[in-house]
Structure 1
Amino acid sequence: MTFLWCGLPWDEVRKDLESLGKPYAFQIARPRGKMETWGDLRVVRLREFEDHVDLILAHEKYSLCQHRPPNC
């Protein structure tokens, strides 16, 4: 069932995981260099184990920084 979560918004997947009662851990992937990200977080990779699920999330939009905000 978890393979259906790839590409879905994180908020939807988190609700499903919490309703299943399965522990999970996640990391947020960020592009290298002077990039800024925005938009919804989406599931881009997941690994399911017997006792937990590991997920990799990424923002759906990014662009090259034109100015120097704190996150660049």
Structure 2
Amino acid sequence: MMDVWLGRNWDEVKAELERIGKPYAFQITRPHGKMETWGSCRVVRVREFDDHVELILAHEKFSPRQT
């Protein structure tokens, strides 16, 4: 069931998790180096355990930082 969340907008997935009442933890990844991120977050990894779900999120868009 959790695979259907891959690639989806975090706001949608968060609402579903809260609706079903399953505890969750998430982490937002960022690109290395001089990169700027923006846009909404998407789910890129899901791990389901008996008592909770762990998710990894990434921003939709990124580009070299302007200095």
Q: Which runs of 5+ in 2 are unaligned?
A: none
Distance 1:53 1:42 in 2: 15
Q: Which runs of 5+ in 1 are unaligned?
A: 68-72
Specify the alignment match of 1:24 in structure 2. 24
Shift of 1:57: 0.2
Question: 2:16 is matched by which residue type in structure 1?
Answer: D
How many residues of Structure 1 are paired with residues of Structure 2 in the alignment?
67
| SS of residue in 2 equivalent to 1:12 | helix
Shift of 1:66: 1.3
Instruction: Calculate the aligned-residue CA RMSD, in Å.
Output: 0.5
Identity over aligned pairs, percent: 67
Specify the alignment match of 1:2 in structure 2. 2
Deviation above 3 Å: which 4+ runs of structure 1? none
Specify the alignment match of 1:65 in structure 2. 65
Which entry has the higher C-alpha Rg, 1 or 2?
Answer: 1
Specify the alignment match of 1:48 in structure 2. 48
| SS of residue in 1 equivalent to 2:11 | helix
Distance 1:11 1:65 in 2: 26
Are positions 1:13 and 2:13 aligned together? Answer: yes
Specify the alignment match of 1:70 in structure 2. none
Question: 2:43 is matched by which residue type in structure 1?
Answer: V
